[in-house]
Chains A and B, each alone.
Chain A
Amino acid sequence: MLELKHLAFAAGDTGKNTEIIRDLSLTIPDNRFIVITGPNGGGKSTLAKLIAGIEKSTAGQIIFNGEDISGKSITERAQMGIGFAFQQPVRFKGLTVLDLLRIAARRQLSVGDACEYLSEVGLCAKDYIHREINASLSGGELKRIEIATILARDIQLALFDEPEAGIDLWSFSNLIRIFENMRNDSGGKTIIVISHQERILSIADEIIVLADGTVQKQGPRDEILPEIIGTNIAVNACHKLDGKEAAE
């Protein structure tokens, strides 16, 4: 179980402090599939980074399985079973896909095992397993490898930050299938996906709408989804662009 109590995060130079996360409280029970959505800049990625320990909260507490982890390092939180797939995956010169999967699994994963994870994210393993995670990989490939590293880990809480970004339409259904599988055999795992996609929202147990650094709405999918479909929360970017272009 993950509990956030009056969480706050401020960034910026002294004097000109901006609160990006404001007095945010949330309870996420085990074995749930949660989707967080909300406008760009609302604080979703920041919240995920706070949970993973990449950013340190300026106030409030993060309680994971009854333990206050607010003061714990990224490494400690990872070792406690928190996994985080970045919105913008990192590239490494020299490290191969197999190297990264082995680091994620924390064991000498066999090539066969590693291939399983890659096939799950729709990558032909033999083409990718020995590829370097460098600039030669496309954005979509990188995102899928990022997801595969989470699959390779033994975790209790998985955070995915816009996993669908850059993934083509054809692979999108595959992605939905991955999350459905994870949800079905989660074995006590909690999955938090940050997404703007209706199809991802539509498989959520619960939806959280985050805007202006705090929770605007939280509740079961059937309650929240009808409220946000067609509003400018879920499809924010497109509508704004349309409007702007129309005005030009």
Chain B
Amino acid sequence: MKAMDAVQKRLLEEVADLHDIPEGAYNLRANGESVGRNTTANIDIQSKTDRSGIDIRIRPGTKHESVHIPVVLSESGLKETVYNDFYIGEDCDVLIVAGCGIDNCGSQDSQHDGVHRFFVGKNAKIRYVEKHYGSGAGSGQRILNPVTEVYQEEGSTVEMEMVQIKGVDSTQRTTLAELKEGAKLIVQERLMTHGTQQAYSVYKVDLKGSGSSADVVSRSVARDQSFQKLDMCIIGNAACSGHTECDSIIMDSGRILAVPSLEANHVDAALVHEAAIGKIAGEQLVKLMTLGLTEAEAEAQIINGFLK
């Protein structure tokens, strides 16, 4: 494996909580090329031949293993689109950690568009963690446009945790999911935007099989002059249950547009949406100030807890 520099290591720590080489299967991508890879008896990783990206194949029945596929960009002006496909065998129970960190000190935009597709076998269970992070004082933008597609077979469970808290100037994230009978999708999104950042997050979940369910929860904070658009759509095409929740805090001159939509095409589809946007409740600030915190400290505690 090629040595990584300090900036790349820091990015890696931010997006994957990794200090060095992860255990288990991994593929590390830095500045547009693969710099390290490990496969295991059950998890195979191959580079695509037709375009940039990798195929990850996990054998049926694989349990308690993990795959890390972090990406770091530290060169200004780099733009890439990467296609990663995950084939998860039946009855697997695995953890997949992806994430992208961009450090842009230059004046040119740096952009990483990751297209991830998950083919989740019958009764398989995956937990997918994705963190996005940006840093660097350059005038060049840090842009991330992830597309996540999830195809769930009968009885499978996918838990996704998507976090973007800092430093990404512009993001357009799209998550599409199709669920067969008895499949279950749980999404927890955490988003915070600063400065003049813009974030668009689109979810489209198609509940196709009877007994399928989806729970998509987004908590977000928009500060300064930033803008977020949260577009969440659940379609119930069978006897299913779907729940989406947008819970947002706005600060300064931040703006949030929440566009929930539910489409029920079956009489036994039970779909619920909840949305709330507002500033931090005054009584929460007051409570923490009566415990001795300053207003700014109280605010930080509330936001931290909210995005945890």
Contacts and interface: CB of A to CB of B under 8 A. Distances in A.
Interface string A135-156: 0000000000000010001000
B293 A75 contact: yes
Contact of A99 (B281, B283, B292, B305): B305
B268 interface: no
Contacts of A104: 291
B292 A78 contact: yes
Interface in B265-308: 281, 283-284, 286-295, 301-302, 304-308
A3 B294 CA distance: 25
B246 to A, nearest CB: 13
Given A90-B283, A94-B306, A94-B308, A103 B247 contact: no
A244 interface: no
A93 B247 contact: yes
B197 to A, nearest CB: 22
Contacts of A100: 291
A99 B301 contact: yes
B295 A86 contact: no
A163 interface: no
B238 to A, nearest CB: 30
Interface string A66-95: 000000011100110011101001101111
Given A90-B283, A92-B284, A78 B291 contact: yes
Given A54-B286, A74-B286, A93-B247, A106 B305 contact: no
A52 interface: yes
> Which of B289, B291, B302, B308 has its CB near the most chain A CB atoms (within 10 A)?
B291
> Which of A93, A100, A149 has its CB near the most chain B CB atoms (within 10 A)?
A93
A78 B289 contact: yes
A52 B283 CA distance: 13
Interface of B: 219, 247, 281, 283-284, 286-295, 301-302, 304-308
Interface of A: 52-54, 73-75, 78-79, 82-84, 86, 89-90, 92-96, 99-100, 103-104, 106, 149, 153
30 contacts: A52-B290, A54-B286, A54-B290, A73-B289, A74-B289, A74-B290, A75-B289, A75-B293, A75-B294, A75-B295, A78-B289, A78-B291, A78-B293, A83-B290, A89-B287, A90-B281, A90-B283, A90-B286, A92-B302, A92-B305, A93-B247, A94-B219, A94-B307, A94-B308, A95-B302, A95-B305, A100-B291, A103-B301, A106-B291, A153-B291
